[in-house]
Structure 1
Amino acid sequence: MIIQLALDRMNMKEAIEMARTVESSIDWIEVGTSLIKEFGTTSIKKMKNQFPDKKIVADMKTMDNAAYEMDLCFQEGADVATVMGAAPDVTIQKCLEKASEYKGQIMIDLLNVSDSRFEQLQIYNQAVFCEHVSKDSQEIAEHVVAKMRKQDGLIRAVAGGITLASLPEMIRQGPDVIIIGSAITKAKDPAEAARLFKETINMVKGVNEV
């Protein structure tokens, strides 16, 4: 199970320092939408240069103009880029084509995607599918976490409001990628928080496999 660290609402120096602090406990590093919007796609390159052995996720949240945006992030060193599941099929298809061209990967963000649309999206089974509770939703309702829709054969991710308390339930839902942001980055001791996330994942997985 992969831990993806989501980095948002900070400057690039802080983001790099945070990733360095928790590096041993995380697998993928997400250059969040806020970083890309504030500092441009060079933020992707800066993160990749600092962590060449980590997968770098560019959270582009592409809705249109797919070829241009995918070129931008993959040329800067992204390994994974995100597109919204609500985007037109032609946009998602173009993202997947560009990912293949750069030997990268696409993550489809299922934020506000209906069950019927989710079914339609399953033809893109080479992508990672991310169930996502938005930041705005988290701010108006405490303890809101994503619920994963059951579908075998897909690579699944989950994001939004995940804490150590909610982590065991998330693990039982069986995601391949768990995306964690504030529970690590806002912790008093981010390195210890990241270590506990990794330890809990290993422990719960071990119990479930017995």
Structure 2
Amino acid sequence: MKIQLALDRMEINEAIELTKKVADSIDWIEVGTSLIKEFGMASVREMKQAFPAKTIVADIKTIDNARYEFEMCFDAGADVATVMGVSPLVTIDVCMEIAERYNKTVMIDLLNTSEQQKKDLMKYKNAVFCEHVSKDQQEELGASNHGSESSNNYEPGMTIAAAGGITLESLESLQKTLNPSVLIIGSAITKAENPAEAAAKFKCVEAK
């Protein structure tokens, strides 16, 4: 597993300083949707400049206007950009086309996708598929269970990510049901009393 640090609801400098503390224990750095909405591509650009050796994920959550948004992300230094799985397939086709041209990666966010939509998305074999429990589900409904039904659709070699309320305590169950290749961790690290220690604990689990 690779560990992706999700950075949301903070200033760019704060995100950079926090990431410095945990850099040894993480693989991918996610410039969260809230950072992109508040600070634009400067958030992606500055994160890549600060951590040039890390994989930078621009969580732009594209749902339309794919060519403009994905080119913008990749030009700013992102290695991965996200598109919503509920988007029209033509939008995702464009995302895949742009990513191939830039030699970058598409992450498809499966938030609120139906089982039929997930099956239709399986043709994008080079994408990363993100099983995502939303922030609103977590905060308003207390839900943090990642569904495993769609895991039956994945073929060997496809890359699966999991996001949303993941903790050390929930990790064992998640590994059994979904066995993700990318573990997206936000609050369990960013809001921890000691982020470096929290990230190191996830790294120890990942290394087993």
Q: What TM-score range do you get, normalising by the shorter chain? A: over 0.9
Alignment partners' CA distance in 2, 1:201 and 1:16 = 23
- In the alignment, which residue of structure 2 is the partner of 1:152? 155
TM, length-normalised to structure 2: 0.95
Q: Which residue of 170, 178, 185 maps to 1:180? A: 185
Q: Deviations 1:51-108 (Å, cap 9, x if unpaired)?
A: 0000000001000000000111000000000000000011000001111111100000
Report matched runs for 1:19-58 at 5 Å. Answer: 19-58=19-58
Q: Secondary structure at the match of 2:168?
A: coil
| Larger RCO of the pair (alpha carbons < 8 Å, separation 6+) | 2
Alignment partners' CA distance in 1, 2:142 and 2:87 = 28
**Uncovered stretches (5+) of structure 1, i.e. residues with no partner:** 204-210
Alignment partners' CA distance in 2, 1:61 and 1:143 = 21
Letter in 2 for 1:183: A
**Residues 58, 80 of structure 2: 8 Å contact kept:** yes
**Residues 2, 206 of structure 2: 8 Å contact kept:** no
Q: Secondary structure at the match of 1:166?
A: helix
Q: Secondary structure at the match of 1:83?
A: strand
1:170 matched to 2:170: no
Letter in 2 for 1:152: E
- In the alignment, which residue of structure 2 is the partner of 1:193? 198
Q: Which residue of 162, 165, 170 maps to 1:161? A: 165
Alignment partners' CA distance in 2, 1:146 and 1:74 = 29
Q: Aligned Cα RMSD in Å?
A: 1.0
TM, length-normalised to structure 1: 0.94
Alignment partners' CA distance in 1, 2:147 and 2:26 = 22
1:146 CA drift (Å):
1.4
Q: Secondary structure at the match of 1:165?
A: helix
Letter in 2 for 1:14: E
Letter in 2 for 1:197: F
1:142 CA drift (Å):
2.7
**Matched positions, count:** 203
1:104 matched to 2:104: yes
1:145 CA drift (Å):
2.7
Alignment partners' CA distance in 1, 2:30 and 2:145 = 19
Q: Secondary structure at the match of 2:123?
A: coil
Identity %: 56
Report matched runs for 1:111-150 at 5 Å. Answer: 111-142=111-142, 144-148=144-148, 149-150=150-151
Alignment partners' CA distance in 2, 1:89 and 1:30 = 24
Letter in 1 for 2:169: A
- In the alignment, which residue of structure 2 is the partner of 1:208? none
Alignment partners' CA distance in 2, 1:132 and 1:15 = 22
Alignment partners' CA distance in 2, 1:19 and 1:145 = 27
Letter in 2 for 1:96: M
